[in-house]
């Protein structure tokens, strides 16, 4: 009982510090938030997929197959075999890291269409209560937007609040790839917001892609908005523990392993990690290894789960940014009894390269047009390290 009471007090301290500087909505979120159920199992249809023997050989198990084996399997399929698997198992194919991006886009259009139609039917079902119907209508509208011409959905899972991963640019041909890892409240319903786009993963990804193209119009680039994990809601218990990050990290490393099989950039994909997303990146970082280090940018970070960048391993080059108006700077940078995310990545002692965010405002303004952070994030993603400015360079 005593331990539970201490935990409740500590949660209140962490959430309260943020709520004091972002009163109202944040405080309400903190009070109303619930612990989320992490998604760690393969999508619907996986059991039938594994049992399928119509090709005369086993299909790669979504739970255990290495992305290299997945890539080899898809390379062996005839067009007719591929058509059948996409039609019968769209959620499986659409979420298989190692499958060709174009095949995944196609499968996910089938899966999203089915989810939209299912939600529309529920929304029109008068035997359901009004709240359930309203939620179904919202889900149908969110799904329908993903079906717009030109959208490239690399992964889609309708379970829970909904997981979505989308691509901008030609992923298969890209010379430089960036993966945006968002923080709290990212899900299907908040994936793409028109009123305040930089509060959404899609809006941030579009801004980064536009900046990369402006800085290097002759370079083939691609940006991935990866909402491939269950994120915390609000400022409650999930936001101050690493539980969801620990469930997310293997999913992120598997995405990167899949990209190794299906893309050929000049350097490992850069990870742009916002808010709680930096906890996910910090948890995944020690497993990243390669001939070149992976650039990991932590911005608006509550910590990366460690006390120094050296603890993240030699496979990453860590960069960090936080603007003075970001309320996250008021959250305690420590870890006590599993609560909190360790040291402040922007301090000299942490060991990351501190970069300027001049012009950015608040927790979600880092990719606003004209900001130093937007310029710096794109320069890092492009490998133009000499064009990255530190805080003193932009302010002096």
The per-residue pLDDT for range 51-64, each reduced to its tens digit, is: 999 999 999 999 99
User: Which of 65-79, 224-238, 338-352 has the largest mean confidence?
Assistant: 65-79
pLDDT at 339: 86
pLDDT at 293: 95
The pLDDT confidence band at residue 26, using thresholds 50, 70 and 90, is very low
The pLDDT confidence band at residue 43, using thresholds 50, 70 and 90, is very high
Pairing of strands 163-169, 152-157: antiparallel
Contact 198, 367 (CB under 8 A): yes
CA distance 327 to 322: 10
| pLDDT tens, residue by residue, 151-180 | 999 999 999 999 999 999 999 999 999 999
pLDDT at 153: 98
CA distance 93 to 95: 5
Contact 281, 320 (CB under 8 A): no
* Region label for 74, one of left (φ > 0), alpha (ψ between -120 and 50) or beta (otherwise): alpha
- What secondary structure letter does DSSP report for 336? B
pLDDT at 333: 86
Which pair of tokens denotes residue 352? 């990351």
Contact 198, 173 (CB under 8 A): no
The CATH code for residues 2-32+161-395 is 3.40.50.1820
Q: Check pLDDT > 80 for residue 33.
A: no
Which pair of tokens denotes residue 144? 């329908």
Q: Which of 288, 292, 285 is nearest to 351 (CA)?
A: 285
pLDDT at 25: 42
Domain extents for the chain?
2-32+161-395, 46-136
C-alpha distance from residue 195 to each of 192, 198, 199, 203 (Å): 9, 9, 9, 10
| pLDDT tens, residue by residue, 172-198 | 999 999 999 999 999 999 999 989 999
The residue with tokens 């993903």 is 146
pTM of the model as a whole: 0.91
8 CB contacts (<8 Å, ≥6 apart)?
none
CA distance 89 to 136: 23
Q: Check pLDDT > 80 for residue 8.
A: no
Report CA Rg, the chain: 21
The alpha helices in 79-129, defined as continuous H runs, are 79-88, 90-94, 101-123
Contact 90, 108 (CB under 8 A): yes
pLDDT at 393: 63
Q: Provide mean pLDDT across the span 326-336.
A: 87
Contact 312, 282 (CB under 8 A): yes
| pLDDT tens, residue by residue, 50-100 | 999 999 999 999 999 999 999 999 999 999 999 999 999 999 999 999 999
Q: Check pLDDT > 80 for residue 20.
A: no
Q: Which residues pair with 296 in a beta bridge?
A: 271, 318
Q: How many residues does the chain have?
A: 396
CA distance 253 to 250: 5
Q: Which residues pair with 27 in a beta bridge?
A: none
CA distance 374 to 205: 11
- What secondary structure letter does DSSP report for 349? G
- The DSSP result for 5-66, as a single string, is HHHHHHHHHHHHHHHHHSTTHHHHHHHH--------SPPTTHHHHHH--TTSSPPPPTTT--
pLDDT at 12: 46
Contact 175, 221 (CB under 8 A): yes
């Amino acid at each position: 009982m005593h331990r539970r009471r201490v935990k409740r007090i500590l949660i209140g301290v962490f959430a309260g510090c943020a709520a004091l500087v972002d009163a109202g909505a944040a405080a309400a979120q903190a009070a109303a938030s619930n612990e989320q159920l992490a998604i760690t199992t393969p999508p619907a249809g996986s059991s039938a997929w594994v049992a399928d023997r119509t090709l005369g050989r086993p299909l790669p198990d979504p739970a255990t197959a290495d992305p290299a084996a997945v890539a080899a399997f898809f390379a062996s399929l005839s067009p007719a075999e591929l058509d059948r698997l996409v039609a019968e198992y769209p959620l499986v194919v659409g979420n298989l890291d190692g499958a060709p991006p174009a095949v995944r886009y196609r499968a996910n259009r089938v899966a999203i269409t089915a989810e939209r139609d299912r939600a529309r039917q529920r929304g029109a079902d008068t035997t359901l209560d009004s709240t359930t119907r309203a939620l179904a209508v919202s889900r149908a509208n969110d799904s329908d937007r993903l079906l717009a011409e030109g959208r490239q959905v690399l992964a889609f899972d309708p379970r829970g609040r909904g997981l979505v991963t989308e691509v901008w640019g030609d992923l298969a041909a890209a010379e430089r790839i960036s993966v945006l890892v968002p923080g709290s409240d990212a899900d299907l319903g908040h994936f793409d917001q028109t009123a305040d786009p930089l509060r959404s993963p899609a809006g941030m990804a579009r801004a980064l892609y536009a900046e990369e193209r402006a800085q290097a119009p002759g370079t083939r680039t691609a940006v991935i908005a990866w909402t491939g994990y269950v994120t915390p809601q609000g400022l409650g218990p999930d936001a101050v523990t690493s539980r969801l990050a620990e469930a997310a990290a293997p999913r992120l490393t598997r995405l990167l392993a899949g990209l190794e099989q299906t893309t050929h950039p000049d350097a490992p994909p850069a990870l742009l990690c916002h808010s709680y997303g930096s906890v996910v990146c910090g948890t995944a970082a020690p497993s990243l290894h390669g001939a070149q280090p992976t650039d990991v940018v932590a911005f608006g970070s509550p910590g990366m789960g460690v006390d120094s960048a050296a603890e993240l391993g030699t496979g990453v080059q860590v960069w960090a940014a936080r603007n003075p108006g970001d309320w996250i700077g008021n959250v305690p940078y420590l870890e006590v009894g599993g609560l909190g995310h360790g040291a402040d990545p922007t301090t000299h002692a942490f060991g990351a390269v501190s970069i300027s965010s001049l012009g950015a405002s608040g927790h979600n303004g880092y990719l606003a047009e004209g900001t130093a952070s937007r310029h710096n994030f794109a320069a890092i993603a492009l490998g133009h390290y000499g064009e990255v400015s530190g805080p003193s360079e932009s302010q002096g």
